[in-house]
Amino acid sequence: MGLNAEAVLDAAELLADEEGLDATTLARLAARLGIRSPSLYRHVEGLDGLRRGLTIRGLDEANRRLERVTVGRSRDDALFALAHAYWRFARERPGLYAASLRAARSGENDVARSGEALLSTVLAVLAGYGVSGNEALHAARGLRAIIHGFVSLDAAGGFRLKLDLEESLNRLLAAFSRDLTDRAGIDEPGP
């Protein structure tokens, strides 16, 4: 007795980080909690419900970290801090990170809401560069692609050379930032 949805998801986060998201099955989770797997259905809507819960928790944890490191910073300070915080999230919480990548299926409004919160944090950083409107939306897509691409390739073991990874990311961010700065300058010519 004494288990609830929160505790089940807490255990699932741990299991995913320790043994991988694929190994996070209802059977293993139940065994770890000391109950039989059908009992999990009292707390969670089956395997799909468990995954949905982990996705939301992953998105929220990412957003929490990004907000924490960007508050009080702007422009490149905020941009670099945001990218590195996201990278750290993926490395420190591999299972939860993997869960956050699962695409929301139509009808999962709670997942979509957490995703939108994350986007708004990115947009807040970009606003500091003075881009707005469609300009800002294209930039948000670009920044998401850069960060997600770099971090997910790293998480998948895609970077095999010994070459300094941090420098690779910083160069990419610098190129993005420079483009953004130039673009803002063109859009709003000085007085």
Partner DNA sequence: TGGTAAAGCTAATAGTATTAGCTTTAAATC
Partner DNA sequence: GATTTAAAGCTAATACTATTAGCTTTACCA
Part of the chain binding a copy of itself (CB under 8 A), chosen from 42-50, 52-60, 92-100, 157-165: 157-165
CA-based torsion, 25, 29, 34, 37: positive or negative: negative
- Comparing CA positions, the residue from 47, 84, 48 lying closest to residue 65 is 84
Q: Does 161 bind a copy of itself (CB under 8 A)?
A: yes
- Tell me which residue has tokens 């939301």: 56
Residues contacting 23, CB < 8 A, separation 6+: 15
Q: Does 22 bind a copy of itself (CB under 8 A)?
A: no
Cα 88 to Cα 68, 92, 106, 117, 155, distances in angstroms: 13, 6, 29, 19, 11
Residues contacting 99, CB < 8 A, separation 6+: 16, 21, 51, 54, 55, 57, 58
- Taking CB under 8 A as the rule, which mask of x and - marks residues 50-89 in contact with a copy of itself? ----------------------------------------
Q: Does 10 bind DNA (CB under 7 A)?
A: no
Q: Of 20, 145, 187, 188, which one interacts with a copy of itself (CB under 8 A)?
A: 145
Part of the chain binding a copy of itself (CB under 8 A), chosen from 24-32, 60-68, 121-129, 148-156: 148-156
Which of DNA, a copy of itself, none does 2 bind, CB closer than 5 to 8 A by kind? DNA
Could you count the other beta carbons within 10 Å of the beta carbon of residue 62? 23
Part of the chain binding DNA (CB under 7 A), chosen from 21-29, 82-90, 131-139, 141-149: 21-29
Q: Of 6, 18, 41, 153, which one interacts with DNA (CB under 7 A)?
A: 41
Could you count the other beta carbons within 10 Å of the beta carbon of residue 130? 16
The two structure tokens encoding residue 190: 């000085």
Give the footprint of DNA on this chain (CB under 7 A). Answer: 1-4, 25-28, 30, 34-39, 41-43, 46-48
Give the footprint of a copy of itself on this chain (CB under 8 A). Answer: 101, 103-104, 134, 137-139, 141-142, 144-150, 152-153, 156-159, 161, 163, 167-168, 171-172, 174-176, 178-179
